[in-house]
Structure 1
Amino acid sequence: MAPFSQAVAVQHDRNIDGTDVYRGEIDSEWTIGSVPNGGYVLALMIDACMKRQASTVHPDPLHVTAHFMAATALSKFEIRVKTIKNGGMLTNVQADFYQLDRKGVSSHLIFGVINPSEPTDITLNPPSPYARRLPLHRHPSNAPLSNEWSSVYTYRSRMYTTDEPEITVNNAKDSPTRTNSKTIGGGGIDWASWCGFTDKTERITTQSLAFFADAFTNAPMLLEDQDGNAVRKHWYPTTVMTLEFKSPIPPPSQVHAGRTVGVWSTGKFINEPSGRHDQYTEIWTAPCDVGEGGDEGKGPGDEWRDKQVCLATSYQMALMVPMARNYANRKRRNKL
Structure 2
Amino acid sequence: MATAAARAAIGDSEFDRDTAVVPRADEPGTYDIDLSAGWTIIAAVNGGYLLAVLGRALRDALPHPDPLTITAHYLTASQPGPAVIRTQTLRAGRTMSTGQASLYQTDEQGREVERIRVIAGYGDLSALPDDVRTSATPPAMPSYADCVSSDDAPDDGPVTGSTAILERLDLRLDPATAGWAIGMPSGAGDMRGWLGLADGRDHDPLSLLLAVDALPPTAFDLGLKGWTPTLELTVHLRAVPAPGPLRVALTTRNLAGGLLEEDAEVWDSADRLVAQARQLARAPRG
Same fold by TM-score greater than 0.5: yes
Counterparts of 1:174-193 in structure 2, within 5 Å, are 189-193=189-193
Which residue in 2 is equivalent to 1:217?
216
1:154 aligns with 2:159: no
Give the CA deviation at 1:311.
1.5
Which residue in 1 is equivalent to 2:254?
269
CA contact (8 A) 2:196 2:202 kept: no
After superposition, the C-alpha distances for 1:187-211 in whole angstroms (9 at most, x for unaligned) are x5211000222223x2312222111
Root mean square deviation, CA, Å: 2.3
Q: Aligned with 2:127: secondary structure? A: coil
Which residue in 2 is equivalent to 1:249?
241
| Structure 1 stretches lacking a partner, 5+ long | 125-129, 174-187, 225-230, 287-306, 324-336
Which residue in 2 is equivalent to 1:204?
203
Larger radius of gyration between Structure 1 and Structure 2:
1
After superposition, the C-alpha distances for 1:2-53 in whole angstroms (9 at most, x for unaligned) are 822211111111354xx50011111111111341111111110001111223
Which residue in 1 is equivalent to 2:53?
44
- Tell me whether 108-117 or 160-169 shows the greater mean CA deviation: 160-169
Report the Cα distance in structure 2 between the residues aligned to 1:172 and 1:31, rounded to whole angstroms: 26
Which residue in 1 is equivalent to 2:261?
278
CA contact (8 A) 1:14 1:20 kept: no
- 1:15–1:239 distance in 2 versus 1, CA, 3 Å: farther
1:99 aligns with 2:97: no
Which residue in 2 is equivalent to 1:145?
149
Report the Cα distance in structure 1 between the residues aligned to 2:256 and 2:96, rounded to whole angstroms: 36
Give the CA deviation at 1:249.
2.3
Give the CA deviation at 1:269.
0.9
Percent identical: 23
| Structure 2 stretches lacking a partner, 5+ long | 1-12, 107-111, 180-184
Q: Aligned with 2:138: secondary structure? A: coil
Give the CA deviation at 1:221.
1.2
Which residue in 1 is equivalent to 2:278?
315
Q: Aligned with 2:54: secondary structure? A: helix
CA contact (8 A) 1:136 1:164 kept: no
Report the Cα distance in structure 1 between the residues aligned to 2:33 and 2:70, rounded to whole angstroms: 21
CA contact (8 A) 2:69 2:236 kept: yes
Report the Cα distance in structure 2 between the residues aligned to 1:189 and 1:242, rounded to whole angstroms: 19
> TM-score, length-normalised on structure 2?
0.82
Report the Cα distance in structure 2 between the residues aligned to 1:65 and 1:158, rounded to whole angstroms: 24
Which residue in 1 is equivalent to 2:186?
172
- Tell me whether 262-271 or 88-97 shows the greater mean CA deviation: 88-97
Residue from 88, 107, 114 that aligns with 2:125? 114
Counterparts of 1:322-333 in structure 2, within 5 Å, are 322=285
CA contact (8 A) 1:136 1:264 kept: no
- AA matched with 1:145: S
Q: Which structure shows the bigger proportion of residues in helix conformation?
A: 2
Aligned residues: 258
> TM-score, length-normalised on structure 1?
0.70
- AA matched with 1:162: R
- AA matched with 1:110: G
Give the CA deviation at 1:84.
0.6
Report the Cα distance in structure 2 between the residues aligned to 1:140 and 1:120, rounded to whole angstroms: 28
